[in-house]
Each structure stands twice: as structure tokens, then as C-alpha cells.
Structure 1
């Protein structure tokens, strides 16, 4: 069996990443605008976006600080929100097992819902080098897009009215993230559960609606995995 050259595989990773990057753009724009309205300079918020690389975990501390919460409470909330990444890490451990040490140390920094679902949808990444390249191209493009749109949102923030529609953007991101998984019945049920919960919980503050939708989707997937096909 012949495989496409590395350049063609990079282009495939970029094509896979483009719709995902577009789906996260509204969330990044709103987070950047909200941070500026709360007094966070755009460059500082872009640095936070590059370090945290997680929408809900980035936004929740912002709203908590604005409400007068302490540093430990805000950081604890961010850690709790990102706890789901432990499940993703366990699922991807075989893919990282035979990788170079530098990749095992730095590759997980690109682990988010979107990169996890992107590699989960591919069945041609069994070779460690091919997985590594796909992960770095896709995750790197998403990270660059995320930092850029957060910065653009920060610049545009003063031009927007207060109370940007974060919850609507969060549901759009969740829909775009789960959309590629709708070809089969079980992923469709998982996506439907996540979206319904996210919409119902949208009025909750601090991006909790998005987190609730993700947790509901994970729970639905766990329940479906325990039922016979």
C-alpha cells in the first residue's frame, strides 16, 4: 500500500483543520472582546490564550475575577473545567507511547476537544511519525488561529456593546466541534445530547453552559459504550 508524501499529508491536515478553526473563531473573538471590556490588555490576553489554549477555562476566570473572586477560586475553576482532558489523555496514550521524548513533553500542550476529535476521526495515523506530524500541523494551526482571533477580539472589544453573546458563540463552537462526528448513529446521539444541554444551560455564567454540554456528551458516550451494538 502506498502512502501520500509528507507535503500532501500536511495539506490534508490543514484542510481538516480549516472548518474546525472557523468553528472556534466566534468563541475566540468574544473572549478577546470580553477580556478587553474587563480591562485586560489584548497582548496579555493573547499570551493567556497561547498558554491556556482552552476557551471555557480561559473565559471562566475572567468572569470570576470581574465578580470579585480570588485567584485560587478562579484557577481551581479552570482546572476543574479542563479535567476532561485527563480522559482524552488516557485515550491517546498509545499514540504518544512510542514518540520522541520532546514530543511526549510538548505535544500534549495541543490537546483540546477539537484536536482530540480530529485524530479520533482518522484511521490512518497508526504510524508514530505520521500521527506526530498530523498532530503538530493541525494543533499548531488551531493554536495560531485561536491566539489571532482572541487578539482581534481584543482590538475590537472597545467598539462593541457590553454583554457580548458568549453563550451563543459557545454553542456554535460545540456544534462545529461535534459536526464531523454525525455520520454514525452513536456520535449523532452524543452530539445531540451535548448541544441540548449546552443550549439549556446557556444562561449560566462563566461559560458553564459549554462545559455542561461537553460533560453531558462524555456521559452519553460512556453510557452508549456500555450498551451492545
Structure 2
């Protein structure tokens, strides 16, 4: 099949709507961190290092609720445990890649990049996958860090005690929305969104964690059902 455009161009086009969908969550994280006394520059650096919105957001809200360091870190680890499943699914795509990519590429593995490559059928060639992955992940990371930093700058302008936990539902909607065309992904998405929305008033990011866990559980149950 003749390729009419490059993987980098595909990646840029695919990334724009995804970056827009998670931008509100980045702003919320930056604003939350600033209200908790975290300098915007430090929080932006953390956004690049962690590069996982839920795992970044939940510890912040848990600290605000008075939780200890171990509890906050344990929650972050629990949230990111799903990345192990993503890694196993993408292992064939990384198997024939250069060593430098096998070491550095996984740093860009998040829900959005996983779903983006899952939705394409033209990345079987290792070099095409590599270019797509680096451009998509790089653009997402750059936009994410920018939004977190902007949220940190705008944070002092917000009233203290704003209901920021509710905005966590935004990132779930943005992440899962593109998958709603099929029945099973739609059921998983709706389960996660409803649970996260119901738990939004709970402190410490509990609603977000519950939504993620509910979505994973719904996916596991549906996988056991016949097609």
C-alpha cells in the first residue's frame, strides 16, 4: 500500500484533538498545585517527569486532604499499574526497535498515546511506529507541560477551595470519548465516567481513582463475555 503522508504528519493530526481534550485537566493540576504552595516551575517539571495526569493529580489532592506520603505514593502507583498492561500489549511494537528507543520510548506511554497507536493500522513497520510514537508523545508532553505551567500561573486568580476535583472527569471524557464508536469501549467509558462523576465531591482524588478502577473492572468483565 502506498503511504500518502508521513507518520509524523499523521501523529501531529491525531495529537491535536487529544491535546485539547486533556488541556483542562492540565490547567486544573497546575492551579491545584499552586493553591497548595507548589511553585509553578517545579510543578511543570513534575508534569514532564511523571507525565501522567491522574497519578499527578491524585497525590496533590490527597496531600490537601491531609494524607501521608506513603498513601499518596501508593495511590499513584495503583493508578499507573494499568501501564503494565499497555506495555505488554505494545511489546511487539518495541521488540525490533533500536536500543535507545526501547529505553526512552516507554517514557511516552500514557493512556492517550496507547489509544492513538491502537487506533491505527499503518504502523507495523518499526520505523513508522517509532516516528509516530515520538512525534505524538513529544507533542502531547510539550502541550501537557505548557498547560500545567499555565494553570500554575492562573492558580492564584481562582477562589480558594474551588471544586477542582470535579475537573478530573474532563480528562476521562477526553481520553475515552474517541472510543465510543464501539459498544464495549462505550460501556467501559461510561462506567468510568459515571463513577468518577459520582465520586467527584470526595476528597483526595478518590472519585478519579474509583472511576479508573471501575473502568478497568468493566473491561475485565466484558472480556470474559462472549462476543
Displacement of 1:170 in angstroms is 1.3
Which of 206, 210, 213 is the matching residue for 1:208? 206
Gap change, CA 1:63 and 1:192, over 3 Å in 2: closer
1:4 matched to which residue of 2? 4
Gap change, CA 1:109 and 1:174, over 3 Å in 2: same
1:187 matched to which residue of 2? 185
1:147 matched to which residue of 2? 145
- Give me the CA root mean square deviation: 1.5
Does the Cα contact within 8 Å between 2:30 and 2:147 map onto a contact in 1? yes
Q: How does 1:95-106 map to 2 (within 5 A)?
A: 95-106=93-104
Taking the aligned partners of 1:145 and 1:213, their CA distance within structure 2 comes to: 25
Gap change, CA 1:43 and 1:56, over 3 Å in 2: same
Gap change, CA 1:17 and 1:127, over 3 Å in 2: same
2:55 matched to which residue of 1? 57
2:75 matched to which residue of 1? 77
- The secondary structure found in structure 1 opposite 2:11 is helix
Corresponding pairs, count = 227
1:25 matched to which residue of 2? 23
Deviates more, 1:187-196 or 1:41-50: 187-196
Task: Please list the CA deviations of residues 37-66 of structure 1 after superposition, one character each: whole Å capped at 9, or x if unmatched.
Answer: 111111000010100011121122223333
Gap change, CA 1:216 and 1:70, over 3 Å in 2: closer
1:119 matched to which residue of 2? 117
Does the Cα contact within 8 Å between 2:58 and 2:204 map onto a contact in 1? yes
Displacement of 1:185 in angstroms is 1.3
2:41 matched to which residue of 1? 43
* TM-score for the superposition, normalised by structure 1: 0.93
Gap change, CA 1:130 and 1:26, over 3 Å in 2: same
Deviates more, 1:154-163 or 1:217-226: 217-226
Task: Please list the CA deviations of residues 166-223 of structure 1 after superposition, one character each: whole Å capped at 9, or x if unmatched.
Answer: 3332111111111111111111111111111111121222222222222222221222
Does the Cα contact within 8 Å between 2:59 and 2:76 map onto a contact in 1? yes
1:175 matched to which residue of 2? 173
- The secondary structure found in structure 1 opposite 2:81 is helix
User: Please, which runs of 5 or more residues in structure 2 have no aligned partner?
Assistant: none
Gap change, CA 1:216 and 1:155, over 3 Å in 2: same
Deviates more, 1:34-43 or 1:210-219: 210-219
Does the Cα contact within 8 Å between 2:62 and 2:203 map onto a contact in 1? no
Taking the aligned partners of 2:83 and 2:120, their CA distance within structure 1 comes to: 19
Gap change, CA 1:145 and 1:164, over 3 Å in 2: farther
Deviates more, 1:99-108 or 1:60-69: 60-69
Taking the aligned partners of 1:166 and 1:146, their CA distance within structure 2 comes to: 17
